[in-house]
Structure 1
């Protein structure tokens, strides 16, 4: 960390020289080829997320990197968390401060990251998965996937025919920017969070504003946000909100009518969106973290990111261990197994909620959900 200095500024305080250097770094650094690293994303999110700022790192008077972030009390998080699917220091290879150096220079009680791009021994690795189109484009990808996973894709073809027979001809549109459609999608997501006992990331308000503002955006290099929708007859069955820049297309927030789950409208929409977007030159379709079963049938590429929490020695570390011990007592030794799940729930709550009271309310609800998850196997085996 010798000679490394940091200045914390608002995004709107960066001059055009800084933004030009930012763009030059992106052009030289393939690992940062994601819409989340584009200046326009930081400019918009930096104006909306509470306590947002950019850390400007210098060495010997020369700018070597930028880190967009936000503060929640003593905690530091990537800008727009928990909705930021990739984050890290915007710096050229070999010049980026380490995660530990970032935490030290920024101060705070802890730095929490869920998808850190860059070398660090801290935390745990997680995989994100992508569809990478080859020279034959979408048709070549689909032919290879159908041959490799015939049963899965034949089932989706049957689902398409079934939905069309039941509800009418299917129609897909992409490049949608209607705010009323976005409100419909957000309503679906909030219902989903309630059903699954997850924290409602849209209840805080600023996250809704962020999606609406990004939907209006148009930045250099094709940066933007848009939605794609699947209609059956006159009925809207699924929507997906995505970010895109260059040849990268990042699927972000999908939603579909739960009553039509048997027809897989969300999966059909993703396939048709890729087909239409590929005609416009998009070649990488990012599905975020692996996990949902359908992604293994779709994705032929992967990246490794890091999930970590760098805690300042003292009370923060003691509290973390005490929380795990409390879960151990409630869950009969399952505290370590639940650590990652609880940490992610808390990270989302802390990032969304800007008042202590709202964070406390969210934490109580998350603890209840975690304990219910612990006890479910006990009830099933009783």
Structure 2
């Protein structure tokens, strides 16, 4: 086994093709955050991004995209921005993980959305969590029947609010895969305001994240694209979402809505319209990500699984990292698993958001990962 660590931009065409080949061959890797296009974009924008290229017998058998920060602290590619990470490799590849960290010059690697069950990391999983999905593999009609079974009352209420919005605000229409930069700015402005209003770190106060989103919005191939969607009442945008897709999976990323229309639950209305259009476009699932709000329990029709854990090599940096991160991660899991605690934490954050100034939203490393919330 031979491992070479490079920057994403140093990957050649044959290596990029091999990455895509490995990803397509394993259904568990069907996530755009595991795509080579995302790694290449991150590599152009952040100096700390690396890829370990793993060869066996002269043939590439895997890639390990990651971030290498000061003191050898390793983080998943995209860190707090993403909802899936791991090895892109042949099935059942099992590496000596501490040797992998040594070659990558990492003291520790902390993960919270790793593809569950990968043999290299499985011994270091501390927990495995469900990531709800909207399963569209047999069509939207079958999916919506499952939603009815989950909660007929909720579905009826959302459909009523959709009709009410149409009567009072103008005909409801849905736009799929908008290429308009102005529409993207509308969405990111809503999201930025939401971050500040709810006491969370404003992602879009960081220029590199804005640049990443703009680059992803422009991406458009059969196997990878940015998908911008928007619901309108008449000519007025009311709710939207920007996410990434592979050929078969759309992953939630940045949903937002105009608070002036909150009484119509525009985020949930958008979510159902997006699922319908995704199915029509041939996508097989919408990945909603782990944790978060109660709406996922009745919108979902299946689950994927992601793992939390930590692997380290003996070092002072790893010990300090454990003391700073592990208790926080455990506390976050407890909060997101409990609807009552989640609501309480949400209220506290919103109160904090009302008090703090925009200048305090400039941190590059948020202390909590925000779940994909809509409505």
Q: 2:321 & 2:7 partners in 1: Cα distance?
A: 31
Q: Secondary structure of 1:58's partner?
A: strand
Partner of 2:180: 178
Runs of 5+ consecutive residues of structure 2 not aligned to the other structure? 336-358, 369-375
> TM-score, normalization: structure 2?
0.81
Q: Secondary structure of 2:244's partner?
A: strand
> Deviations along 1:339-358, whole A, 9 cap, x unmatched?
6589xxxxxxxxxxxxxxx9
Aligned pair count?
339
Q: Which aligned pairs between 1:18-37 and structure 2 lie closer than 5 A?
A: 18-37=15-34
Q: 2:158 & 2:184 partners in 1: Cα distance?
A: 26
* Larger Rg over CA atoms: 1
Query: Which stretch shows the higher mean deviation, 235-244 or 30-39?
Result: 30-39
Q: 2:271 & 2:280 partners in 1: Cα distance?
A: 14
Choose from 17, 23, 40 the match for 1:43: 40
Q: 2:24 & 2:144 partners in 1: Cα distance?
A: 30
Choose from 59, 69, 77 the match for 1:62: 59
Q: 2:365 & 2:334 partners in 1: Cα distance?
A: 15
8 Å CA contact 2:32, 2:246 repeated in 1: yes
Partner of 2:230: 229
> Deviations along 1:251-308, whole A, 9 cap, x unmatched?
2210011232221101111111111221121111111113211111111111111122
Q: Secondary structure of 1:288's partner?
A: coil
Change (3 A) 1:113 1:133: same
Q: Secondary structure of 1:222's partner?
A: coil
Partner of 1:110: 108
Q: 2:291 & 2:174 partners in 1: Cα distance?
A: 25
Partner of 1:153: 155
CA positional deviation for 1:128: 1.0
Change (3 A) 1:38 1:317: closer
Query: Which stretch shows the higher mean deviation, 284-293 or 20-29?
Result: 20-29
Q: 2:63 & 2:312 partners in 1: Cα distance?
A: 21
Choose from 126, 130, 135 the match for 1:132: 135
> TM-score, normalization: structure 1?
0.80
Q: Which aligned pairs between 1:1-382 and structure 2 lie closer than 5 A?
A: 4-74=1-71, 75-97=73-95, 100-117=98-115, 118-119=118-119, 120-122=122-124, 123-135=126-138, 137-219=139-221, 221-320=222-321, 323=324, 338=331, 362=363
Q: 1:203 & 1:249 partners in 2: Cα distance?
A: 25
> Deviations along 1:327-375, whole A, 9 cap, x unmatched?
9xxxxxxx89636589xxxxxxxxxxxxxxx99x8499959xxxxxxxx
Q: Secondary structure of 1:175's partner?
A: coil
Change (3 A) 1:161 1:212: same
Change (3 A) 1:195 1:95: same
8 Å CA contact 2:135, 2:302 repeated in 1: yes
Q: 2:206 & 2:154 partners in 1: Cα distance?
A: 38
Q: Secondary structure of 1:82's partner?
A: helix
Runs of 5+ consecutive residues of structure 1 not aligned to the other structure? 328-334, 343-357, 368-382
Change (3 A) 1:362 1:209: closer
Q: 1:240 & 1:105 partners in 2: Cα distance?
A: 39
CA positional deviation for 1:156: 0.3
Q: 2:201 & 2:246 partners in 1: Cα distance?
A: 29
